[in-house]
Structure 1
């Protein structure tokens, strides 16, 4: 896995580390394909008690889409379909998921974090949903259940940065620690999950998913983002797109 590191631990916890530090783990088509394959394999493990999404760099969990990736129009659609598969796979993942939210969690990075069941924040956290700036119809499906409709509207429509203290206040993260300690804190949380029978965790997660109804909202939102790309607006790639320059992640 060129862009991912997968660690399988003896306690039934898996750690999936994003590993493109030179671009702050921005996701390109190849990385999305690796994530798709890794999540499919992990989801099939009936003994898995939890999955931690982490990073090899404290600078970012994920800075969003790789706007420097050279793509034609068909490639842009294929990449957006990859994002849709990622969001659906995280939403449907049968075992509890934990995100290590350090540095930039922007766009797809914010979506990945919001799609997880639990989140631990680093003190350098910068969360951002840039849909309002880029016109991408994504964000409400996962953010509204976490912070409520009014706050989700504010964060998505303004595209402002949410730093660690506010993320904790909003309940977006369960705790904030030094960035260097964030993965260890997430693994400590995962260790508590590892004490429970895997079947019990899966049953409870199914109940939560049914209660939240996120499956149907994510399916609708995924259809919207694919249509958005097909219609020629779309995410930036190759550095720019018509009518919009690619946006740099917050530093």
Structure 2
């Protein structure tokens, strides 16, 4: 997917700001995943900050201020382990402070999945499980609080955390191979209502969240989830066309409108409530199951 985009648009350039794999992260590792991480979580995050591979997240910056984040774990269907979560959270934190940023496109290096949820095969103890859930909560918060519009490229598996990324973005482009599902009820994870209800209404949100049934592009489009649809191979290009439309608008005006939408939707309060429930579930409940396919 990325190679075709690079070959057809000379305006795009690959960002050279990828993080080194150790020792130079500008963020305090004790706050990387949450405002109040657990002590065990702090130790785990400190270890992972020095061991993560930057190749799990590919970044590209176009000259017009559009940033493309491509999740790159195709062998895992882009299921997110803790190290990859921290990479994405670092990138989103950096972008939130970037005055030249116009649009963020969340995409994938492979059309088989945007994100298949958590990498539940990751070997974590109890503290590590809490730290990872804190990192997921931080991811959802950072997506919601971006000061510019975000666009999700919805192709292949968008399940669990992948569905939450889709719902957290401002706009969405659907691919024809989509499998979109909220798997929280099946796995016992209290997640979904804060974002999905605002998008498709209470009745439909209850259906998808309670049953966990997957839906494809056509059904999701009928619910109003997508601004554009395309063949899976063309979905990122369609998202970039949409981003170009947004860049033509007033930069300052769009930022003000983004803030107005957040305030009108009361998204900060809703997301904060759900994030607290997620972390409490991991800390005191059964937690995200290990060794189960996402």
Q: TM-score range by the shorter chain?
A: over 0.9
SS in 2 for 1:236: coil
Alignment equivalent of 1:152, drawn from 186, 198, 205: 205
Indicate yes or no: 2:123 matched with 1:70: yes
Contact 1:64/1:107 (<8 A) preserved: yes
Q: Over aligned residue pairs, what C-alpha RMSD do you find?
A: 0.8
1:157-188, Cα deviation, whole Å (9 max, x unpaired): 00001111001100111222100000000000
Alignment equivalent of 2:248, drawn from 168, 184, 195: 195
1:214, CA displacement in angstroms?
1.2
Alignment equivalent of 1:61, drawn from 105, 114, 118: 114
Indicate yes or no: 2:209 matched with 1:129: no
Q: Which runs of 5+ in 1 are unaligned?
A: 240-245
228-237 or 207-216, which deviates more: 228-237
SS in 2 for 1:121: strand
Name the count of aligned residue pairs. Answer: 241
TM-score by length of 2: 0.81
**Alpha-carbon distance between aligned partners in 2 of 1:12 and 1:194, rounded to the nearest angstrom:** 8
Which residue in 1 is equivalent to 2:87? Answer: 34
Alignment equivalent of 2:228, drawn from 170, 175, 179: 175
SS in 1 for 2:55: coil
1:232, CA displacement in angstroms?
3.9
**Alpha-carbon distance between aligned partners in 1 of 2:267 and 2:160, rounded to the nearest angstrom:** 18
Equivalences for residues 88-237 of structure 1 within 5 A: 88-237=141-290
SS in 1 for 2:152: strand
Moved over 2 A (4+): none
Q: Which runs of 5+ in 2 are unaligned?
A: 1-53
**Alpha-carbon distance between aligned partners in 2 of 1:34 and 1:116, rounded to the nearest angstrom:** 18
TM-score by length of 1: 0.94
**Which of the two has higher C-alpha Rg?**
2
Contact 1:6/1:17 (<8 A) preserved: yes
Indicate yes or no: 2:84 matched with 1:24: no
Alignment equivalent of 1:2, drawn from 33, 55, 59: 55
